[in-house]
Amino acid sequence: MTLHIDSVSKRFGQYQALDSVSLDIPKGELVALLGPSGSGKTTLLRIIAGLETPDQGRVLFDGEDATDVAPRYRQIGFVFQHYALFPHLSVFENVAFGLRVMARETRPSEEQVRQRVSEILKLVRLTNLGERFPAQLSGGQRQRVALARALVIRPRVLLLDEPFGALDVTVRTELRRWLRELQQELGLTTIFVTHDQEEASAICDRIAILNEGKLLQTGSPVDLFTAPATSFVAGFLGSANILARDSLGAGAPAGLAGAKLAFRPADGKLSPSAAAPAPGGHLRLSGTVQHREFLGSIVRYAIARPGGEVQIDAPFKAGEAFIAPGTEVAVDIPHDALISLNS
Amino acid sequence: MATKRVGDQKLVRRLLIGAVAIIAIFLIAAPLLAILSYAFAGGAGRYFESLLTEDTLHAVKLSVITALIAVPINTLFGIAAAWAIAKFDFPGRRFLTAIIELPYSISPIVAGVAYLFVFGAQGLFGPWLQANDIKIMFALPGIVLASLFVTAPFVARELIPLLEAQGREREEAGISLGASGFQTFWRISLPGMRWALLYGIILCNARVFGEFGAVSIVSGNVRGETNTLPLHVELLYQDHNSVGAFAAASVLMLIAVFTLIAKFLLERRGVRRHAEGT
Ligand SMILES: Nc1ncnc2c1ncn2[C@@H]1O[C@H](COP(=O)(O)OP(=O)(O)OP(=O)(O)O)[C@@H](O)[C@H]1O
Ligand SMILES: [Mg+2]
């Protein structure tokens, strides 16, 4: 199903939790909603699910206005940030819940329920745990029960609110890969909330970046990484050095129109400041090494300069000497590694 | 040497435990035993004979009827109040909580007198009630009302912290899975609070049976008519019928013991630790 979110706004008291957010999601696409804590990610999901009413704007499913449809009729699979499993029901009954509460005319028979739940449990690889209770499961297993429970109603849209937030890194990586395969297999239109940019980039078709209730930019992970529109996006997806254009004087390349320029720490090359002038097609910054961190495959230098500090990641080669703090250095950045930002 | 925690000295510990044990024996266990020994002072025959007198049976019946009315009403009230307070945000939430807990801090006698002022012959609605031939004071309705007042907080008090800890997510999950409000309440909310609810109901019931002060004001103490069990015990005692009084009291004691056992079993299920919140 296609999902249209049409300039949705929501206030809580004085706080503008969502500010005219619009987002279109074609059928079968997985969109990662990425943003810092408090940016309104959960609020947006809750509005789509009907658990919260927007002050303004509309939510459309397949082009049909669903803003006033009660949540129980929306047929949306919602996986909550903290699972929200039913503790007094077994795994099997948790998953069966959505079938057991259906209207009498459409409710499947006991046998159909068994069959359907077993299918779903197999899909989420929990076949043997049907008799257990949520308290007897690991975090990853609970997460999959929550997912199975949402899938059993054949949702038109799947909403996942930081599904892996509470899990450790290995389980996370495994589950997110599995989730992506499952989502593609079922062709489910899905929104996946996270504040982990790596997780977002790894599995989604598109990323939507939310900050302070505003949708800043949407695009494929590669697009957002290579062409962020604002300094917030540039800094949120990977790290970035932001330069005010004014601080560069005549050195700024003429082709880039934005008020600010950004570059990735790995794109700057360090050399002793006294060395030859900047090679052609490069922007040169000069400064003093402030600080050095050895991070394994790279060495991260913080360089103090008049227009603010920049970070440079230099590849580490065994046997090579570090540059000592206090050393005057030049940073050369190729023009094509510079990103022009609007703000 | 390892640092000592407060109360680590053996002497202090033994003294404290000993003192508490002695006090408990004198204040609680001894009177309970006294009840039994007085009740059976004239043998089992006398015991059952005085238990089965018409007035005593009537008092038991009245207490049971009162409980059968008051406990369900206060259970429903407790669920509704706890639900409203724990799951909704509205101005005056804290104030409502304080109001619900008021009966805890008011002497039951005061509550009884207040009802008298409202519903009694000289009271606010007295003339109107009399004109319409409705009897509240010195009758079952008054007894039920007083019991309701005194036991109003019991269920709500157990449920509020539990429901607050549980939050709204489970119900929201139920709704988004297609359940109606009623289905969500019946299949998710109610089972989620069942043990705490039972705990509250048991305490509420025990108090309804045991309430003396408020009921004694509004019931008028008419033997064989408006005497509940505790009032009847006092009446028998004043008649110097100690076997009768203690036999009747032993019924109350039995309820207390059942309550204690039920409480113990429920607490072992972790009701008070909000294990249902996981
Ligand atoms: N029911 C509510 N009442 C008042 N304020 C709320 C309510 N729900 C959310 N907010 C506020 O709206 C803002 C956005 O909240 P939201 O839960 O959508 O953030 P989030 O992006 O999901 O954050 P996180 O990553 O921490 O989960 C927050 O500042 C929050 O305090
Ligand atoms: Mg959230």
ipTM of the complex: 0.83
In terms of domains, do A226 and A250 share one? no
Nearest Cα to Cα of residue A340 among A210, A252, A218: A252
Residue listed under structure tokens 């082709």: A255
Closest chain A C-alpha to B101 CA, distance in angstroms: 30
In terms of domains, do A336 and A212 share one? no
Question: What is the distance between the alpha carbons of residues B151 and B103, in angstroms, rounded to a whole number?
Answer: 7
B270 vs A220, which has greater pLDDT?
A: A220
Instruction: Answer yes or no: is B2 within a domain.
Output: no
In terms of domains, do A87 and A232 share one? yes
Would you call B177 and A97 a contact, using CB atoms and an 8 Å cutoff? yes
Mean pLDDT over B50-79 rounds to: 94
Mean pLDDT over B30-51 rounds to: 88
In terms of domains, do A202 and A61 share one? yes
In terms of domains, do A204 and A331 share one? no
Residues of B in contact with A80 (CB under 8 A): 169, 172-173
In terms of domains, do A254 and A224 share one? no
pLDDT score of A46: 96
Instruction: Answer yes or no: is B218 within a domain.
Output: yes
Give distance in angstroms: CA of B159 to centre of ligand 1. 26
A147 touches chain B (CB under 8 A): no
- Percentage of the residues of chain A whose pLDDT score is greater than 70: 99
**Segment holding B271, helix H or strand E:** none
Confidence of residue B275 (pLDDT cuts 50, 70, 90): very low
Average pLDDT value for chain B: 88
Domain end position, chosen among A236, A255, A286: A236
For A139-182, the pLDDT digits (tens) are 889 999 999 999 999 999 999 999 888 788 888 888 889 899 99
In terms of domains, do A199 and A272 share one? no
Give distance in angstroms: CA of A51 to centre of ligand 1. 13
Q: What CATH number is given to the structural domain containing A310?
A: 2.40.50.140
Of B170, B179, B191, the CB nearest to A101: B179
* C-alpha pair distances (Å), A332 with each of A287, A297, A305, B64, B180: 11, 21, 13, 91, 64
Tally the domains of chain B: 1
pTM of this prediction exceeds 0.90: no
Ligand 1 pocket check for A14: Cβ under 6 Å: no
Question: What is the distance between the alpha carbons of residues B77 and B99, in angstroms, rounded to a whole number?
Answer: 13
In terms of domains, do A138 and A261 share one? no
Residues of A in contact with B169 (CB under 8 A): 80, 82, 84
In terms of domains, do A61 and A189 share one? yes
For A280-335, the pLDDT digits (tens) are 788 888 899 999 999 888 999 999 988 788 999 999 888 888 888 988 999 999 98
For A5-45, the pLDDT digits (tens) are 999 999 999 999 999 999 999 999 999 999 999 999 999 99
Tally the domains of chain A: 2
Best probe residue, ligand 1, of A41, A47, A159 (max atoms within 8 Å of C-beta)? A41
Instruction: Answer yes or no: is B7 within a domain.
Output: no
In terms of domains, do A188 and A217 share one? yes
Could you list the residue range(s) of the whole structural domain that residue A13 is in? 3-236
Instruction: Answer yes or no: is B214 within a domain.
Output: yes
Confidence of residue B272 (pLDDT cuts 50, 70, 90): low
pLDDT score of B270: 67
Domain end position, chosen among A216, A236, A256: A236
Q: What CATH number is given to the structural domain containing B67?
A: 1.10.3720.10
In terms of domains, do A33 and A97 share one? yes
Ligand 1 pocket check for A38: Cβ under 6 Å: yes
Domain end position, chosen among A236, A270, A286: A236
Residue nearest (by alpha carbon) to ligand 1 atom 25: A37
Mean pLDDT over B217-230 rounds to: 87
Mean pLDDT over B47-73 rounds to: 93
In terms of domains, do A206 and A262 share one? no
Could you list the residue range(s) of the whole structural domain that residue B245 is in? 53-275
Helix-strand-coil split of chain B, %, nearest 5? 80, 0, 20
Q: What CATH number is given to the structural domain containing A56?
A: 3.40.50.300
